Amino acid sequence: MLTERASGILLHPTSLPGPLGAGDFGADAYRFVDWLVSAGQTYWQMLPLGEIGPGNSPYMSSSAFAGNILLIDLAELAEMGWLSGEDLMPHPEFWPDTVNFDVLLPFRLERLRRAAERFFADSANASQGAYAGFCNLESEWLDDYALFMTIKEHQKDGKWSRWPFDLATRNPQALRRVAESSAEEINFWKFCQWCFSRQWSNLKQYANERGILIIGDLPIFVAYQSADVWAHQDLFELDERGHPIVVSGVPPDYFSDTGQLWGNPLYRWDAHEKSGFAWWIARLRHALKLFDLVRVDHFRGFAGYWEIPAGSTTAMQGRWVPGPGAKLFDALQSALGELPIIAEDLGVITPDVVELREKFNFPGMRVLQFAFAEDESNYFLPEHYVPNSVAYLGTHDNDTSLGWWNTATQGEKTFAQKYLGSDGHRIHWDMIEAISKSESNMVIIPMQDVLGLSGDHRMNYPGRQEGNWLWRFSWKQISPVLTHELAKISTGTGRCRPI
């Protein structure tokens, strides 16, 4: 439950500046924390920190536990003596305002492999003990992840159900042979996760010491091509050959006339319940080590989820199926104590979703861009916000506020201008001020809206397979005047200490 007024910024680390193709946990991340402090902010919200999947999506990770190794600061590895200055020379096809994933991925992987080779070559390195300790502490998920990634590399990225039968079905002898013959490759993936973990821990500590809290993002579903599904096949709706029977998505909504076909395998909730929800407890415990608060994506799926037959071409053929409801969160709360969760309760929200969220006092979300299509009774107008809620101009799935304004209907513009007292020339600032004045105790502002950027700079287009997750900003876009204006609004609305 949220009890204090504060505000923050939505920015994924890949959107940070930096010389090596994408933002990471390096110097620019620390500089961003310092900027948040100077702008009077309290929260830094980001997208999932897991490895990216198809379409470079952070919502389709190969593990619900592993971190995105593209976020590892290569300069720090050079400081440790595992990379050279030459390794840090930028690729000529790196772009300052966009992530070029086709170039970024092989560039960073090659350098991580060089660093791992040098690390393991020095058995007397003082860091060997820390690495071994990490592997032991995280073995519950790390062993399966490293084995999965190793086999995946050998099988040329084929779906795990197409691997040789003894590997797909996790025959112990077959897995042992891989572990013995591919020890170097397995150690590489573990090394990367150790680097991610210690660098992230240092960055989070730096932020927390300066009063900045980190909000992470926990996707409700996991990717089929993941260590989790392969290692826990009994927990997912799969047939005897390991293929999904039904998959995830949502029916037609604001974002798509045919719905969204996500394609993740669905949970076998009765199996989770029989285990005491052990996998979910481990997953959330891990997330709470990484973040101060966790936004649970698609919260409504715990009350009821849209089940689509595998092989469907759109999400329209699905049906609603009851989720685990309060049983899951009772188990999580019993194991972990009070749950610092933000419920992403957007979309088709029925009374059972509201009841579930309110039972555990989870704050829900309000999105201002949704407010002006109707009349003064609209749920998303700031006058209807409640203290235990999180107010957004838009999420990573929305257009930027300026992009929304440029494509809004005349009716929406007229209503918004009247409601906000705006002439439309500074619409993003008028919208920031409106949600900041609201009763919501937490306000989160996308970085693109602080900078007043057009729709060309949005982060994600739901339902579009390519061209997402690319946006980056530069420090030259942030002026002292802009920083002061943001801090002034936050201070004037009781969301930060006086400047």
Closest among 2, 59, 32, 57 to 296, alpha carbons compared: 59
234 included as an active-site residue = no
217 included as an active-site residue = no
User: Which residues are registered as beta bridge partners of 306?
Assistant: 320
User: Where does 194-303 show beta strands of DSSP type E?
Assistant: 213-218, 246-250, 260-265, 293-296
Joined together, the tokens standing for residue 300 give 């409504």
The amino acid at residue 190 is K
Catalytic residue among 51, 397, 399, 433: 397
Joined together, the tokens standing for residue 93 give 């096809």
Residue 434: which residues within 8 A CB-CB, separation 6 or more?
368, 382, 419, 420
Which secondary-structure segment (H or E) carries 410? helix 410-420
CA trace torsion 368, 373, 376, 381 (10° rounding): -10
Q: Cα-flanking dihedrals φ and ψ of residue 124, to 5°?
A: -90, 0
24 and 18 in contact (C-beta within 8 Å)? yes
397 included as an active-site residue = yes
Give the burial class of 136: count Cβ atoms within 10 A of its Cβ; 0-12 exposed, 13-18 middle, 19 or more buried.
exposed
Cα 282 from Cα 113, distance rounded (Å): 29
CA trace torsion 289, 291, 293, 298 (10° rounding): -100
266 and 307 in contact (C-beta within 8 Å)? yes
58 and 23 in contact (C-beta within 8 Å)? no
Cα 365 from Cα 151, distance rounded (Å): 40
Catalytic residue among 297, 345, 433, 449: 297
Catalytic residue among 24, 344, 345, 399: 344
Q: Cα-flanking dihedrals φ and ψ of residue 242, to 5°?
A: 90, 5
Joined together, the tokens standing for residue 448 give 């693109």
- Active-site residue list: 297, 344, 397
